[in-house]
Amino acid sequence: MLSSLKRNSVTAVVLAIIISLSILVSSVTVFGSSDKSRPQAISEEELPEKYVISYFPYFPMYDYWSTCAMTSLEMVLEYYEFHYSINTLMNLGWQYGATLVENDSGPVLMPGSEQPITAILNAARRLGFSVEETNNQTEDEAWQTLKSYLAQDVPVIIQWTMHTVVAVGYDETGTEDEVIFQNPGSPSSLLENSYGGQETEVKPDIGALSRMSREKWFGERYWQNVNSYPPKRFEMIVLTPPETRASIDWGEVLQRNAEKTLADGDWASYPPYVWYGADAFTKAAEQIESGEWGFAELESLFQASGWGPASRSHHSAFLVGFAEGTGIEKLRTAGRKFEISGYLWQEAIQVWEHARGASEDVDRSKALSEIALALKGAGIVERHAGEDLLSAARVLAEDG
């Protein structure tokens, strides 16, 4: 999740993209085989006042890598005894590409090209799971649906406005109703209560379940999911596992990731609002070179870049390992190029940070030139990486 992006800026980003608002209609969408057994609706009278899934695993994110959506998915997969690494899940799509958005609050350059909800649905489907997505119910309907799933030992992936968590229980026995959930935040964020709306007390057990009042849970910062487009309030995702472990169509996965990197297909840029993939870096460099953007714009530009450079090293390691197993050289070259684009992105950020914090006599025009050059280089190398991914995808498709 883009945890480093300030809430007001995110809201502005979304408002800039939205041309018209959709009418909120309650929806339930099922992906996958229709003959899978699914949780059944339970009446209010049948539901216990308190229920907590007896065992649910805890995996944290790394401090430097925002993976809350895929880490939430990883925990649910582990609950169903399907074991996938976070790197595998991220390479199913979420961490590829980049997004540049221009709006009244300033430009924002973010890692990744995909919304976390879409990434979860896509990854789970590719792993053979039947996926049920429910959203845009009334508050009472959503509360009833959530309890109904949990009382049948079905964990529910929940999308908040700025974070993804997994609901594993509820409690209506106290003075106020509560949701019990597992938060994939990093250990430091949980101890410092600085991520995802943690309660005020320090948690002595990092893996302990979190609690939140129903009133707070339904608030704008949390389950309202106000940044989703089209609107997806009270978003719930539940999985039904396959009978056997599915074979992943990596040719299809790589083609999709190549399109994100190349700003092609579903991820084609649409100026003047959004640029994707290599286009995002190229456009940012052009704006700096032209003098349209100075240090004020860079303050906005890099606020959400956080884990972007490091994610390229994860691309690289995964693809190089994939190359070793398949003998496809284009996977190795794509991995190396992603690593270089990460270095260049990091260079741009750190030159800006140095110049911003230096004395007034620093040569800011030279710093801006260096930043533009690094971003331009990242765009060029990222495009070559995407082309190599596309070539590798074709080889895998031909090999069947």
> pLDDT tens digits for 103-114?
888 999 999 888
Q: What is the 3-state secondary structure (H, E, C) of 231-300?
A: CCCCCEEEEECCCCCCCCCHHHHHHHHHHHHHCCHHHCCECCCEEEHHHHHHHHHHHHHCCCCCHHHHHH
Determine the Cα–Cα distance for residues 363 and 375; give it in Å rounded to an integer.
19
| 88 class by beta-carbon count within 10 Å (0-12 exposed, 13-18 middle, 19+ buried) | middle
Residue 218, classed as helix, strand or coil, is coil
The last residue of one of the domains, among 240, 263, 286, is: 240
Q: In the beta sheet, which residues pair with residue 51? A: 170
How much of the chain exceeds pLDDT 70, in percent? 84
Q: Does residue 99 belong to any structural domain of this protein?
A: no
> pLDDT tens digits for 303-337?
888 889 988 999 999 999 999 999 999 999 999 99
Tell me: do 371 and 263 sit in the same domain: yes
Q: Does residue 17 belong to any structural domain of this protein?
A: no
Whether residue 39 is predicted with pLDDT greater than 90 in this model: the reply is no
Q: Is the dihedral of CA 11, 86, 79, 195 positive or negative?
A: negative
Tell me: do 230 and 276 sit in the same domain: no
**Residues 346, 375: contact at Cβ < 8 Å?**
no
Q: Does residue 121 belong to any structural domain of this protein?
A: yes
**Residues 49, 137: contact at Cβ < 8 Å?**
no
pLDDT at 144: 95
Report CA-CA distances (Å) from 44 to 39, 47, 48, 141: 15, 5, 9, 11
Strand runs labelled E in the chain: 27-31, 50-52, 98-101, 108-111, 130-135, 156-159, 164-171, 178-182, 210-213, 236-240, 274-276
Tell me: do 213 and 317 sit in the same domain: no
Tell me: do 225 and 289 sit in the same domain: no
Residue identified by tokens 């495009």 is: 383
pLDDT at 307: 87
Per the structure block, which two tokens stand in for 376?
């331009």
> pLDDT tens digits for 183-215?
988 777 666 655 555 444 445 566 778 899 999
Number of domains observed in the structure of the chain: 2
How many residues are there in the chain? 400
Per the structure block, which two tokens stand in for 141?
């309907």
Q: Does residue 279 belong to any structural domain of this protein?
A: yes
The DSSP line for 320-356 is: HHHHHHH--HHHHHHHHHHHHHHHHHHHHHHHHHHHH
Determine the Cα–Cα distance for residues 110 and 190; give it in Å rounded to an integer.
24
Closest CA to 316 of 110, 64, 90: 90
Tell me: do 357 and 284 sit in the same domain: yes
Tell me: do 59 and 130 sit in the same domain: yes
Whether residue 18 is predicted with pLDDT greater than 80 in this model: the reply is no
Q: State the CATH number of the domain containing residue 181.
A: 3.90.70.10
pLDDT at 27: 67
pLDDT at 205: 64
Q: Does residue 9 belong to any structural domain of this protein?
A: no
Tell me: do 192 and 284 sit in the same domain: no
pLDDT at 4: 38
Tell me: do 139 and 206 sit in the same domain: yes
> pLDDT tens digits for 344-354?
999 999 999 99
> pLDDT tens digits for 120-177?
999 999 999 999 999 999 999 999 999 999 999 999 999 998 889 999 999 999 999 9
- Residue 130 or residue 229, greater confidence: 130
Tell me: do 214 and 275 sit in the same domain: no
Q: Worst-scoring range by mean pLDDT, 32-46, 231-245, 354-368? A: 32-46
Q: Which domain holds residue 125?
A: 22-85+113-240
Whether residue 225 is predicted with pLDDT greater than 80 in this model: the reply is yes
Tell me: do 199 and 331 sit in the same domain: no
Q: Does residue 13 belong to any structural domain of this protein?
A: no
Tell me: do 63 and 176 sit in the same domain: yes
Phi, psi of 214 (to 5 degrees): -60, -40
Q: Does residue 286 belong to any structural domain of this protein?
A: yes
The last residue of one of the domains, among 190, 213, 240, is: 240
Report CA-CA distances (Å) from 50 to 44, 47, 53, 167, 178: 12, 8, 10, 13, 9
Tell me: do 317 and 210 sit in the same domain: no
**Would the pTM of this model clear 0.95, i.e. be above it?**
no
Amino acid letter for position 252? E
Q: Does residue 126 belong to any structural domain of this protein?
A: yes
**Residues 74, 89: contact at Cβ < 8 Å?**
yes
Q: Is the dihedral of CA 184, 4, 280, 106 positive or negative?
A: positive
The last residue of one of the domains, among 240, 268, 296, is: 240
